[in-house]
Amino acid sequence: MNDMRPMIEVRGARKSYGPLEVLKGIDLSVARGQIIAVIGPSGSGKSTLLRSINHLETLDGGEVWLDGVQANQKLERRAFERHINQVRQQMGMVFQHFNLFPHLSVADNITIAPVKLKGMARDKARELALKMLDKVGLADKIDAYPARLSGGQKQRVAIARALAMQPKVMLFDEATSALDPELVDEVNLVMKQLASEHMTMVIVTHEMRFAAEVADKVLFMADGAVVEEGTPDELFSNPKQERTRTFLRKFL
Ligand code: ADP
Ligand code: MG
């Protein structure tokens, strides 16, 4: 029965920046092992949605649940901080701009969170880092510094770093859109591999082909609302809303 419970559930998410309503009541349910791609024009609220799931933004209204636990529950401030840190440790996030710590080696970038947040012993953490780097094909870069890596390699390290926390879900916010075109595939390949291992993922992307290949469900957002959602086939081959058709036309 537990496995039926969604891994991520967002209910009625609302968020405004001043007068600008950026999320107008978003519902999103991601099953265990499911992969959701979120597409939509720039400014439609995709990043705000992901950041709200991970509580980098605080919602004005609505709920975020992770694996049956409400993330944004009302608690006294210190209790909430403990709670939300606990929840956030279970979500890995990868951003458009690889935010590796430039002054730390690849190993230290990956081990810092397991060591500091989980109290993992350093040698264990290094072992784990090596395992995660192996997964993204960069075991030989364990002692390199970010400045020596290509954009694609940095992004793969960022993924390894997120995985080292053994998250229940991975959130990707345009992980490949800052990359030179020839570096996109190596990162997409890692995401596909995670998909084949049944990682639960929410992937914001501009790459329709990749979304179609990897996602179980595609969500089209515009102006802070979900305009349409469906399987890749439904959404890409047979979009029902004019708004979706207009958007997709730009990618043909
Ligand atoms: P997307 O990721 O779909 O491009 P975003 O979630 O980044 O959209 O942004 C949605 C809207 O919210 C945009 O109009 C953006 O300018 C605005 N916005 C995002 N973050 C902030 C912020 N911190 N302060 C004010 N406006 C913001
Ligand atoms: Mg964005």
How far apart, in Å, are the Cα atoms of 196 and each of 8, 9, 35, 157? 19, 22, 10, 19
Q: Is the CB of 251 under 6 A from ligand 1?
A: no
| % pLDDT > 90, the chain | 96
Q: Is the CB of 126 under 6 A from ligand 1?
A: no
pLDDT of 252 above 80: no
- C-alpha span between 218 and 237 (Å, rounded): 12
pLDDT of 1 above 60: no
- Residue closest via CA to ligand 1's atom 7 equals 47
- Residue closest via CA to ligand 1's atom 25 equals 17
pLDDT the model gives residue 134 = 96
Q: How confident is the model at residue 2 (pLDDT cuts 50, 70, 90)?
A: low
Q: Of the ligands numbered here, which is closest to the C-alpha atom of 51?
A: 1
Checking ipTM against 0.95, whether it exceeds it is: yes
pLDDT the model gives residue 3 = 64
- Residue closest via CA to ligand 1's atom 11 equals 43
- C-alpha span between 135 and 159 (Å, rounded): 10
Strand partners, 222: 225
pLDDT tens digits, one per residue of 155-208: 999 999 999 999 999 999 999 999 999 999 999 999 999 999 999 999 999 999
pLDDT the model gives residue 4 = 77
> Candidates 14, 16, 17, 46: which one to mutate for ligand 1, based on the most atoms within 8 Å of Cβ?
17
Q: Is the CB of 224 under 6 A from ligand 1?
A: no
| Phi then psi dihedrals of residue 192, to 5 deg | -65, -40
pLDDT tens digits, one per residue of 39-67: 999 999 999 999 999 999 999 999 999 99
The whole model's pTM is what?
A: 0.95
pLDDT of 82 above 80: yes
pLDDT the model gives residue 5 = 87
CB-based contact 236:244 (threshold 8 Å): no
Higher-pLDDT residue of 3 and 97 is: 97
Determine the atom of ligand 1 nearest the C-alpha atom of 41. Answer: 3
Overall average pLDDT of the 65-79 stretch? 94
